[in-house]
Amino acid sequence: MKKLILFIVVTFSLMSTATAQSRAEELFKTYRFGLFLGPSINSLRPTSSLIDKYTISKGKGNIGFSFGITADYNINERYTIFSGIGLDWRGGQINAIHDSSAPASDYAKSANVTYRQQYLTIPLGLKMMATRIDKLKILAQTGFDLGILLSQRGDFVIMPNSGATVIGAKTKLSGYATGVPVNIGWYIGPGVEYDLNGKNAVFASILYRNGFVDATTPKNNNAGLKFSDGNIRSNSFALRVGYFF
């Protein structure tokens, strides 16, 4: 009798373990989590070269970096919805020169600002498998991201309407040149994924990102240091590599 009871207990334990493993494998096929990192080339691009009598031009870009967590929801073999959370370092340079020697009293004659901005980013997008070659997937991906400004530093040379030129290097930009607290953009690019063992995988992608909203608000600068730069869009080319667990 004891042997029979022991046999039943062991049998049910094995069945429960097999069921749990099956559920875990099915869950893994639906949801995945990973880590990513990589460099980016960033710039700020004016949508107009002339605004409020200021001539606006794009300056040099900068090299940034991003890392974070990615989460996948596999709809089927070909389509995957993804999100996550990450940190992005972006920025670029903007030049603004007033076409008159006498702008309004609170506004500057010229400004040269290099922005270095850090954002907390939350993406939402879709990955589409183009083809599979053995364990290698070739993908296309597109989506949107929400960026919350965490910090902004940079360099500036601002010539006010009166008084001495104001110069700063690698300093906080608040009061001298400010950015918007929330940035929204879209991105698109190709990617690849290589299956290691049926559960884990490595991946890489190249993404182009373009901002939807004005990235800077220099009209909120301190009195005498304000200037207009129109609508400035934040652009990036990013390389990302990562690992799915």
CA-to-CA distance for 148 and 146, rounded, in angstroms?
7
How much is the pLDDT for 219?
Answer: 92
Is the pLDDT score of 204 beyond 90?
yes
How much is the pLDDT for 13?
Answer: 47
Tell me the Ramachandran region of residue 8: left when phi exceeds 0, alpha when psi lies from -120 to 50, beta otherwise: alpha
pLDDT tens-place string over residues 66-98: 999 999 999 998 999 999 999 999 999 999 999
What's the whole-model pTM score? 0.83
How much is the pLDDT for 162?
Answer: 85
Give the H or E element holding residue 54.
strand 54-58
What the block records as the tokens of 196 is 């290691």
How much is the pLDDT for 235?
Answer: 96
pLDDT tens-place string over residues 9-53: 444 444 444 444 445 455 556 899 999 999 999 999 999 999 999
Instruction: List the domains of the chain with CATH numbers.
Output: 30-244 (2.40.160.20)
β-strand partners of 202: 194, 243
